[in-house]
Chain A
Amino acid sequence: MGSFAYAAPDNLADALAVLEQHKNAGQRIQIFAGGTDVLVQLKAGDSEPRTFLDVKNIRETQTISLKGDSAFIGATIVCAQLYENLALKEMFPGLIESADLIGSTQIQGKATLGGNLCNASPAGDTIAALYANKAICMIAGKSGSRELPVEDFVTGVGRNALKPGEILLGLKLPKPNANTSDAYLRFIPRTEMDIAVVGAGVSITLDDEGVCVDATVAISAVAVTTLLVPEAAQALIGSSVDEVALQAAAQASSAAARPISDKRGTKEFRRKVVGVLTRRAALIAANRVKGEAE
């Protein structure tokens, strides 16, 4: 049995060195950002000693950049910073809303975008929104950096594609053009403070005639990982996002869902409501492109 330790290096090289050192020594190390999941898990059973590697002081993880064709959001940017950033909110309203839905105001003051992704909960709110926005994970390791599409990053419940010695620095998102927008909706029994029973993130691109030329639909809390639903996207593409297309997208999401029944909802409920949310989110995203009031 080892002991607990905490390290908060202020640069990437030192952080990677700490990771490497633990890897070589076979000691458990856990990357630590907001801690809002980690500390709950520490109390809820996984109390094994480990080193917490706090990566909040690393400049790269604390950066938001909107220069060029894509936006970069550092992994340790907290939810509150996301929704306080008006430019980001304008660019990715759905993603920012998903961050605004996580936990309480207090949680949003600590919980990070990277943490939500790395925690890889099937119900993680930002994950479906990141899928819908075709986000790319920017990963650093001893032997250099690599990029990974977000849908390849989440590999299972609580599992991600980071190898020992690697750190998620942040997420790169292609900037949407003027005819693209997104939306994320989740269902919870209360108005706040719950884990999503189901979630749906949709990104939509319309042409000047209002016809959908591209769409991405991602659904969450209905399988072990967030799912992309190309069938739902296909149902929207080529349509004017009318009721028929929306219904078809809803049905596609319901059909793609592989939910379980648990304390938060039944299989049947999840299957049905994920369709409802897909339809509603697609409509919101389309209306956003059209500049219509929600």
Chain B
Amino acid sequence: MSKMHVSASVNGEPVEFLCEPQQSLLNVLRDELNLTGTKEGCTTGDCGACSVMLDDRLVCSCLTLAAEVQGKSVGTIEGVANGDTLHPIQQALLEHAALQCGVCTPGYVVAIKALLEKNPLPSESEIRYWLAGNLCRCTGYDKIITAVQDVAQQMAKADKNAGEPA
């Protein structure tokens, strides 16, 4: 049984790796590429801790074959902050104390970013349904939802300001 050679982009950088045909993307990210920010909570697509972007889609990396990402772009938690600046979503989660143990947090950051890219000002209900696949057992979700509402407002305002003539 020979390994497959896969070329893809991970967080904007070209990456090549070898994988087994049945190996998951999660497994490759964590064990081959040492990107351990993406967490494993269930391996059956039920918890969202392994959320990543595959091209423009939010997916569970545990239910994606590594071989499938040939020629595609993968976005992980490690690519969210910009240099030494946290993404506003990360900052909002911190300021709202929206994490306790923090193990689900990377998945949330990726999922929230995907949400706000599609729907910049989601309602509370839209946020809750979008994030229903990201389990959190610590917070009761309350502060996460508040953080998303808050950061959505901030980002919308920042966009508006950026769009206005100086």
Contact = CB atoms under 8 A, between A and B. Distances in A.
A, B bound: yes
B30 interface: no
B132 A35 contact: no
A109 B21 contact: no
Interface string B109-139: 0010011000000000000011111100000
A110 B22 contact: no
A153 interface: no
Given A5-B21, A43-B43, A54-B68, A106 B129 contact: no
A110 B59 CA distance: 7
A104 B21 contact: no
Interface residues of B, number: 33
Contact of B65 (A35, A51, A192, A193): A35
Contacts of A191: 129, 132
The main secondary structure of chain B at its interface with chain A is: mixed
Contact of B45 (A32, A49, A80, A103): A103
Contacts of A54: 65, 67-68
B4 A105 contact: no
A39 B21 CA distance: 12
A36 B57 CA distance: 14
A282 B135 CA distance: 34
B132 A8 contact: no
Interface in B51-65: 51, 54, 57-60, 62-65
Contact of A36 (B63, B67, B114, B130): B63
A42 interface: yes
A109 B54 contact: yes
A106 B21 contact: no
A36 B62 CA distance: 9
Nearest to A50: B22
Contact of A3 (B1, B59, B129): B1
Contact of A35 (B63, B114, B133): B63
Given A6-B67, A107-B45, 8 more contacts: A6-B21, A36-B63, A52-B67, A54-B67, A104-B48, A106-B59, A106-B111, A192-B133
23 contacts: A4-B20, A4-B21, A6-B21, A35-B63, A36-B45, A39-B24, A40-B45, A42-B22, A52-B21, A80-B57, A103-B45, A105-B111, A105-B114, A105-B115, A105-B129, A105-B130, A106-B60, A107-B63, A109-B57, A109-B58, A191-B132, A192-B132, A193-B46
